[in-house]
Amino acid sequence: MIEFTINNQPVCAQKGETILQAARKAGFYIPTMCYLEKTTPCASCRLCVVEVDSTDGLILSCQTPPTAGLAVTINSDRLEKERTNIMKLYDVNHPLECGVCDKSGACDLQNKTLEFAVSAQNFSAKEQHRPVQHWGLINYDPALCILCEKCTHVCNEIIGDDAITLQFGGYKSAVVPKNSDVLDCTFCGECIAVCPVGALVSSNFQYTANAWELHQVPSTCAHCSAGCSLTYEVKHASIATGTKEKIYRVTNNFEVATLCGAGRFGFDFDVHATKDEELFTKAVEAFKNSKAIRFSSIITNEEALILQRLKEKFGVKLFNEEARAYQSFMAAFGSVSGKNSFSGSLESIAQSDAVIVLGGRVSTDNPAVRYAITTAARHNGAKVIYMHPLEDELMQNVITQMVKYEAGSEEGVIAMLAKTLLNGCDVSDEIQSFLNGLDEGYLCAESNVGDEEFAQISKTLIRAKRKTLVVGLDILNHKNSANIAKLCGLIEMATDFSVVVISQHVNTVGVSLICDLDSDKPTDNVVGYNASGDFTVGSMGVCDMLVPALNSQEGTVTSLNYQVLSMNVAIGFEGYCLNDIANELGIREVNTIDYTSQLPIQKGFKGVDFDSLSNFYGPLGEDNRGYILEMMDVACDGVIDDVCQLPEYNGTIAYACNPVNQFNIYTAHTTQLEKDNALRGSAQFAIAARLAHGDRVTIEGHVGTKTFIIDETLKGTIALNPFYEESTANRGYRFEKIKLTKVES
Amino acid sequence: MHVEPLQDRNVSELSAYYYVDIPDYPETGWDKFKQVMKRTFKGELFVGLWVVLREMIKFDIHTVKYPLEKLPIGPRYRAVHKLLRLWESGFERCIGCGLCEKICISDCIRMDTRIDENSRKEVTEYSINLGRCIFCGYCAEVCPELAIVHGERYENGSEQRAHFVIKDDMLTPLDWLTSGQQQEYPGFGAITPNESVKSTPLAY
């Protein structure tokens, strides 16, 4: 703790905090234009200047840590004059188009100009012609840009795309795509969110609504398991449609949280229906006669509980292979670690100084994990060890060590990794003998990861203090996932690593905790709830009966952090929902959210009402969203099996992997997100599969045809096969030996 | 007349007030009877009837024959809205800022906007629900471009309680503009359309 004074009042700062942070915590106001809590200081606006007793000049509070006993003055005539002058300079030639600007009413420049009472332009510069740039989903107006550099900082430090940069040229400076004429990035839209003026805007949203007209609905993103907070902004669709509402855009609390492109641009997946009595009766009948319900994890905790109640009352089976894979993984994990969940979280990844990513393409599976890793690498200089059969172009600039193993050999790799990480740890004799008994020669040869690579890993980790192991989606469906889970549990238990297991869908964790799932076997009379079945009820594509999508529902989901997060209704839904069907079947509650307080306490849920769950970040970045599940003790009786034969994958292999910003059938139905379902392979793959760029192919065992594209960024004989347009059913292990047939057109 | 004399409520020769010569009210029953008889037989009724008859014969009638004839309306009268065009270019003045929509106290204005091919904001549709509009004039007052103004069409009769005007109804037709029929209202920021109006150079 460092004690100093602000305006003669005593203030304490933590080590590493700046004057600005300490001042804000203590409730002092220092104006800023370019400051972002989650990045390193841009230090471009100079509005946060303060006076200190130790030096005559003004210092920037955003990047200066206080020293003990320092006397800081944050408002004086001199500072006021300095700040007013900065605002006068900001306003030079800023186009007076507030009338049409999207940012008007929520604009930092407007606010600060009024705050400092700048009512005239005191300086002049020759006006230049700066046309608006169209970068796909993003429009950039250089005339409005105040060059605060927030956008370049988030793009580089948090997202990791590093796609935009500042082109210096004095008054002609502007934000430009880096090393390219057009913007080539993952279109997360975070630059739009942080832009304090209307320079960077969503091209779809631009000039369609004003900030003050939009009704804000705080909710949670429904696309991946990260459960990012977002706000749907809603207004009537148009004059012609009367009171019918539409989501115009999605915003987020960009000061502390981050959102990917799917969350920001993929918001219009709502469906509409009316109360059709006949269809409803049919649906109730179908549920009554069903032997099993197959469902996806893109549902709320409450819906999962209703399904579980249906199982308890009628003895129907519940099929959800994807959540079951996660459930059994976590069961095996817990049987060694002794807890029902893991200790890591997205925050712990961001705060680590060493991260191992194993078995998953995190950049597309779960962008929030990628952003956390980028944050760790950029802010803490974290070493990132990336272990996967495929290189990932998007992760290249944060990875310090790429460990490429053979597809299918995950069990061997993690066994060797466990041995490396546990070296020197105090473990039981049983485990020690297991580690000693590993056939290193065989495992290294089969996985194609050499001894020296593991030696390098342990060397990298020597100085690291906060270490995280990220277990990717590949592992969950591996043939030997149970044993891999135990090995992960061992790493969690015995080392100082915190483990994060990535789950696929928004509520995989919730479903795995709430539902007793059965193994999916061919059965008659299966009702599909957001999944395939003899009678389908769902909110996507072609269903027999429509129920509300997740942006039309109240309820909670459980994120991969084991955090219960609430969702709210952005767009009203006129039809029936699962709760209505359950009521007909004798499982009675007035609203779906009445189940929130009934979620199983023995699994860590707290019996709180939906309405008492908050959903916001505090002014200092405190996470006031829902609650985190309590970690429960489980029996620690797992025995790690010996690692024997590793499976081999030869020939042409496809890896089930979606393009950026595409996750599932919901994102596939949104208007703004790019829908690229081409099979992507390297030039080497094309030769092996005897294909040329642009060929139409069918994949044996899969429906439909796809275009084959040669991707220069790929290597080896593994192609990327997008699956987001297919149903949410589990696909099994993500690497698959495929047979391709060329379709003559 | 100035207001000062009126503010002095004391009746005097200097003030604007004076006593009216009102006879005393009858108090006794006899006095009341006398007043009734006097009013009944004095023939005051015929004085009025004669005035009517005289004016009828003279055929000098001042009645406005609405709807064949309408009284001229003051230029600041607040009747059904109009959307004006720029004299110099013929473009719509409305920039779609949404201030009228926001300020409207009866919440009867709605507009649809979009980004057009030149990256400018375009108002695709604009409607006012005249069934709700109270013709307060806030929309015209807040408009930064003098685009929405009140016109002189005050007849709001309709088959429905809610009837709307849409953009096409309100916008000055181009041929009206070229023939100089767009009416300007004097006041802050108003322009006087004449030869001196030229199109603004937008190119650098």
Residues 6+ apart with CB under 8 A from A256: A37, A38, A617, A621
How far is it, in rounded angstroms, from Cα B94 to Cα B84? 8
Residue A229 pairs with which residues in a beta bridge?
A220
Of B98, B114, B144, the CB nearest to A210: B98
Q: What is the pLDDT of residues A71-122, one digit of tens each?
A: 999 999 999 999 999 999 999 999 999 999 999 999 999 999 999 999 988 8
Name the pairing type of β-strands A354-358 and A467-471.
parallel
Q: Which residue is listed with tokens 């200066």?
A: A64
pLDDT at B203: 56
How far is it, in rounded angstroms, from Cα A504 to Cα A329? 13
pLDDT at B22: 86
Q: Which chain B residues in 121-150 lie under 8 Å from chain A, judged by CB atoms?
A: 121-122, 125, 127, 144-145
Residues 6+ apart with CB under 8 A from A269: A222, A540, A549, A550, A551, A666, A667, A669, A670
Per-domain residue ranges for chain B? 4-58, 81-178
Among A324, A323, A380, residue whose Cα is nearest residue A350: A380
Cβ count within 10 A of residue A367: 29
Contacts of B144 in chain A (CB under 8 A): 99
How far is it, in rounded angstroms, from Cα A466 to Cα A464? 6
Among A224, A473, A507, A228, residue whose Cα is nearest residue A347: A228
Contacts of A210 in chain B (CB under 8 A): 97-98, 102
Q: List the single range of A393-407, A563-577, A673-687, A719-733 with lowest mean pLDDT.
A: A719-733
Of A100, A139, A213, the CB nearest to B95: A100
Of B96, B110, B204, the CB nearest to A100: B96
Q: Which is more confident, A743 or A216?
A: A216
Contacts of B114 in chain A (CB under 8 A): 207-208
| CATH hierarchy code of domain A325-501 | 3.40.228.10
Residue A422 pairs with which residues in a beta bridge?
none
* Mutation for B interface: A201, A204, A212, A238, most B CBs within 10 A: A238
Residues 6+ apart with CB under 8 A from B139: B81, B100, B103, B104, B109, B148
Span B81-178 CATH architecture:
2-Layer Sandwich (3.30)
Contacts of B110 in chain A (CB under 8 A): 236, 239
Q: Given a cut of 70, is residue A745 above it in pLDDT?
A: no
CB contact under 8 A, B120 and A139: no
Residues 6+ apart with CB under 8 A from B125: A238, A239, A240, B111, B112, B166, B167
pLDDT at A343: 94
The whole-angstrom distance between A100's CA and the closest CA on chain B is 5
Q: List the single range of A384-393, A608-617, B172-181 with lowest mean pLDDT.
A: B172-181
> For the residues of A91-108, what is the DSSP string, one character each?
TTT----TTT-TTTTS-H
Mean per-residue pLDDT of chain B: 86
Three-state SS string over A578-608 comes to: HHHHHHHCCCCCCCHHHHHHHCCHHHCCCCC
Task: Enumerate the H helices of A160-300 as residue ranges.
Answer: 190-194, 261-265, 277-289
What average pLDDT does range A358-381 have in this prediction?
95
Give the H/E segment covering residue A419.
helix A410-421
What average pLDDT does range A409-436 have in this prediction?
90
Residue limits of CATH 2.40.40.20 in chain A: 653-743
Residues 6+ apart with CB under 8 A from A728: A296, A297, A298, A322, A505, A530, A531, A664, A665
Contacts of B96 in chain A (CB under 8 A): 100, 207
Of A207, A212, A238, the CB nearest to B115: A207
Q: Given a cut of 80, is residue A355 above it in pLDDT?
A: yes
| Residue A104 forms contact with B (CB below 8 Å) | yes
- Are A512 and A442 in contact by the 8 Å Cβ rule? The answer is no
| Residue A241 forms contact with B (CB below 8 Å) | no
Q: What is the pLDDT of residues A438-476, one digit of tens each?
A: 988 999 999 999 999 999 999 999 999 999 999 999 999
Q: Given a cut of 80, is residue A727 above it in pLDDT?
A: no
> For the residues of chain B, what is the DSSP string, one character each?
--SHHHH--S-SSSSS------PPPP-SHHHHHHHHHHHHHS-HHHHHHHHHHHHHHHT------TTTS-----TT---SEEE-B-TTT--BS-----HHHHH-TT--EEEEEEE-TTS-EEEEEEEEETTT-----HHHHH-TTS-EEE-S------SSSS-EEEHHHHBPPHHHHHTT-PPP--STT----STT--PPP---
Contacts of A129 in chain B (CB under 8 A): 204
How far is it, in rounded angstroms, from Cα A181 to Cα A184? 9
How far is it, in rounded angstroms, from Cα B203 to Cα A43? 35
What average pLDDT does range A670-689 have in this prediction?
92
Give the nearest chain A residue to B101 (CA atoms): A213
Q: Given a cut of 80, is residue B1 above it in pLDDT?
A: no
In degrees, rounded to 5, the angle at the alpha carbon of residue A554 between the alpha carbons of residues A533 and A572 is: 85
- Are A631 and A330 in contact by the 8 Å Cβ rule? The answer is no
Residue limits of CATH 3.40.228.10 in chain A: 325-501
Contacts of B101 in chain A (CB under 8 A): 213
Q: Is A73 helix (H, G, I), strand (E, B) or coil?
A: strand
Sheet of A555-558: strand order equals A555-558, A563-567, A627-628
Pairs from A310-318 (Cβ < 8 Å, separation ≥ 24): A310/A582, A310/A585, A310/A587, A311/A515, A311/A516, A313/A585, A313/A586, A313/A587, A314/A288, A314/A585, A316/A290, A316/A291, A316/A292, A317/A291, A317/A292, A317/A293, A317/A518, A317/A523, A318/A292, A318/A293, A318/A515, A318/A516, A318/A517, A318/A518
pLDDT at B38: 87
- Are A330 and A487 in contact by the 8 Å Cβ rule? The answer is no
Among B120, B116, B115, B108, residue whose Cα is nearest residue B148: B108
| Residue B120 forms contact with A (CB below 8 Å) | yes
CATH of A653-743, one of 2.40.40.20, 1.10.10.10, 3.30.470.20, 3.40.30.10: 2.40.40.20
* Mutation for B interface: A207, A210, A213, most B CBs within 10 A: A207
pLDDT at A316: 94
Among A199, A126, A734, residue whose Cα is nearest residue A472: A734
Among A156, A186, A105, A7, residue whose Cα is nearest residue A658: A186
CB contact under 8 A, A210 and B102: yes
Residues 6+ apart with CB under 8 A from A458: A420, A421, A423
pLDDT at A75: 92
How far is it, in rounded angstroms, from Cα B136 to Cα B142? 12
- Are A338 and A636 in contact by the 8 Å Cβ rule? The answer is yes
Q: What is the pLDDT of residues A21-73, one digit of tens each?
A: 999 999 999 999 999 999 999 999 999 999 999 899 999 999 999 999 999 99
Longest dimension (CA), chain B: 97
CB contact under 8 A, A238 and B121: no
Of A98, A208, A213, the CB nearest to B114: A208
Cβ count within 10 A of residue B161: 9
Residues above pLDDT 90, as percent of chain B: 41
- Give the model's confidence band at B202: pLDDT under 50 very low, under 70 low, under 90 confident, else very high: low
Angle between helices A481-494 and A410-421 (to 10 degrees): 10
Q: What is the pLDDT of residues B127-139, one digit of tens each?
A: 999 989 999 999 9
How far is it, in rounded angstroms, from Cα A104 to Cα A245? 22
| Residue A96 forms contact with B (CB below 8 Å) | no
Residues 6+ apart with CB under 8 A from A83: A31, A47, A49, A116
Q: What is the pLDDT of residues A259-291, one digit of tens each?
A: 999 999 999 999 999 999 999 999 999 999 999
> For the residues of A119-153, what is the DSSP string, one character each?
-S--S-------PPEEETTEEE-TTT-----HHHH
- Give me the numbers of helices (H) and strands (E) for chain A, helices first please: 22, 35
Topology at the third CATH level for domain A124-265: Alpha-Beta Plaits (3.30.70)
Contacts of B111 in chain A (CB under 8 A): 239
Contacts of B102 in chain A (CB under 8 A): 210, 212-213
Q: What is the pLDDT of residues A157-178, one digit of tens each?
A: 999 999 999 999 888 899 999 9
CB contact under 8 A, A236 and B102: no
CA-to-CA separations, B33 to B21, B24, B41, in angstroms, rounded: 22, 15, 12
Give the H/E segment covering residue A440.
helix A440-447
Q: What is the pLDDT of residues A204-245, one digit of tens each?
A: 999 999 999 999 999 999 999 999 999 999 999 988 877 889
CB contact under 8 A, A100 and B115: no
pLDDT at A221: 96
Span A277-320+515-613 CATH architecture:
3-Layer(aba) Sandwich (3.40)
Bond into B67 cis (ω within 30): yes
Q: What is the pLDDT of residues B5-57, one digit of tens each?
A: 677 777 777 777 888 888 889 999 999 999 999 888 888 888 889 998 998 89
CB contact under 8 A, A213 and B98: yes
CATH of A2-90, one of 2.30.30.40, 3.10.20.740, 3.40.190.120, 3.30.70.360: 3.10.20.740
pLDDT at B40: 86
Mean per-residue pLDDT of chain A: 93
What average pLDDT does range A329-345 have in this prediction?
94
